[in-house]
A and B are shown apart, each in its own frame.
Chain A
Amino acid sequence: MIDDPHFGFILAAYLAGVVVFSSLLLWIILDYKKQKQLLATLEASGARRRSESNKR
């Protein structure tokens, strides 16, 4: 397949797939970490949702 005259197009298509999918995955993982960190900071400062305050 490497000898195929269109091998560059096939490689580029799969590389594009890897880049797009990895970007999506990375964005979701980083966003998750960011939101968890923000939530932890707010809770550490004493902020509670009303539903959680009622449970206590």
Chain B
Amino acid sequence: MNLTFANPGRFLAFIRYAIPWLAACGAIIAAIGFYAAFAYAPADYQQGETVRIMYIHVPSAWLSTACYGIMALSSIGTLVWRHPLADVSAKAIAPIGAAFTFLCLLTGSLWGKPMWGTWWVWDARLTSVLVLFLIYCGILALWNAYEDPARAGRSAAVMTLVGAINLPIVKFSVDWWNTLHQPASVFRMGGPTIDKSMLWPLLLVAIGITLVVLALHFAAMRNEILRRRVRTLSILAANHEMKGIVE
């Protein structure tokens, strides 16, 4: 399968069908999840109705690290196997990951003000997620700093893999340091600590948004493949014109 879709042409044919299916399934699942989050899930005994922010904050937080994970795996593909689609994938997922990291920080801040009494604290979890956002910004800047996408891909891949050290820091910051941010309550040893009435809408929203993000990732990869074709044709056209002038 790895080799079958290594060809950009075959990959484009595959995602032509995959994108609408992923987007439609994801949108339906997320819609059911959001409906359940507002219609069935109860208000929290401490947070009250403000807990509803968690149904957008938590999936955004998971996606911010998941997108970085995809970017890191793609970077390995770029540096080790020089897979033709690896740096296309890494470049395509970067703005999506940055957007969800931004959304995670923003919704967390909007939850923090009424619950903690402050928009922001220099807590280990919050700070490590801010660092993640800055790394995303740095990688996006690096992609735009080079004219040649292959060179940009290799530089961005190195930076992505160096920045990947932040992922376990984000995940375990709440265990390693004494933080205001609560510890993990879903993906933890011993199972989730959230009541089922809140857990299943949260998981539905997370699964739905993840499928939509996969569709966006594929669509952004298609754009990048087209951008590279445009670049190649522009260079060929310019060379052809130059030849004509010389002859």
- Interface size of A as a range: 20 to 34
Known contacts being A25-B216, A36-B226, is A6 close to B50, with CB within 8 Å?
A: yes
The answer on a CB contact under 8 Å between A6 and B230 is no
Give B212-239 interface residues, CB cut-off 8 Å to A.
216, 219-220, 222-223, 226-227, 229-230, 232-234, 236-237
Main secondary structure of the interface of B (DSSP, over half): helix
Measured CB to CB, the nearest residue on chain B to A50 is B236
What is the 8 Å Cβ interface bit string for chain A, positions 13-36, against chain B (1 contact, 0 not)?
A: 110110011011101100110011
Known contacts being A9-B114, A16-B110, is A39 close to B56, with CB within 8 Å?
A: no
Which residues of B sit under 8 angstroms from A32, Cβ to Cβ?
219, 222-223, 226
> Top 3 A-B pairs ranked by shortest CB distance?
A35-B226, A4-B49, A47-B237
Q: Is B240 an interface residue (CB 8 A)?
A: yes
The answer on a CB contact under 8 Å between A49 and B111 is no
The answer on a CB contact under 8 Å between B233 and A39 is yes
- Separation of A6 and B116 alpha carbons in the complex (Å): 13
The answer on a CB contact under 8 Å between A6 and B114 is yes
Q: Is B57 an interface residue (CB 8 A)?
A: yes
Known A-B contacts: A1-B52, A12-B110. Give 14 more (CB < 8 A). Answer: A1-B49, A9-B111, A13-B56, A13-B107, A13-B110, A13-B111, A14-B56, A16-B107, A16-B110, A20-B103, A21-B99, A47-B236, A47-B237, A49-B229
Chain A residues near B (Cβ < 8 Å): 1, 4-7, 9-10, 12-14, 16-17, 20-21, 23-25, 27-28, 31-32, 35-36, 38-39, 42-43, 45-50
The answer on a CB contact under 8 Å between B107 and A17 is yes
The answer on a CB contact under 8 Å between B230 and A35 is yes
Q: Is B143 an interface residue (CB 8 A)?
A: no
